[in-house]
Amino acid sequence: MDHAQYEEYVMTLIVQAGQCRSMLMTAIREAKQGNFDAADTLVAQAKEALKDAHHIQTKLIEYDEGEGKLPVHIVMVHAQDHLMNAVLMMDLAGEIIDLRRVTQQ
């Protein structure tokens, strides 16, 4: 993997994870307003963004093979942080939206 491809993967990971997080925050706000169809649509879109981010992460892991082939720069740490936050947001958003759904019935 050349440097340009590595950078593209890392930046794509950041973008996809960031999009996931943003969509989930919007979904929570929609649920707060009682717009559960919109919230559900946003969660589905966020799942796709998270899936794309995981796909990139998997490519990076497969290339590295646990042998340290890839440099670990601060931007890679930043990308992994974004991904971790997106995964956490997915879990929390589901719970928050479900709670909103129950309290508004």
In the chain, % helix, strand, coil (3-state, to 5) comes to 85, 0, 15
Q: Count Cβ atoms within 10 A of the Cβ of residue 85 and give its class: 0-12 exposed, 13-18 middle, 19 or more buried.
A: middle
- Is there a catalytic annotation at residue 82? no
Catalytic pick among 54, 55, 73, 78: 78
Six token digits for residue 22? 């943003």
The residues assigned a catalytic role are 78
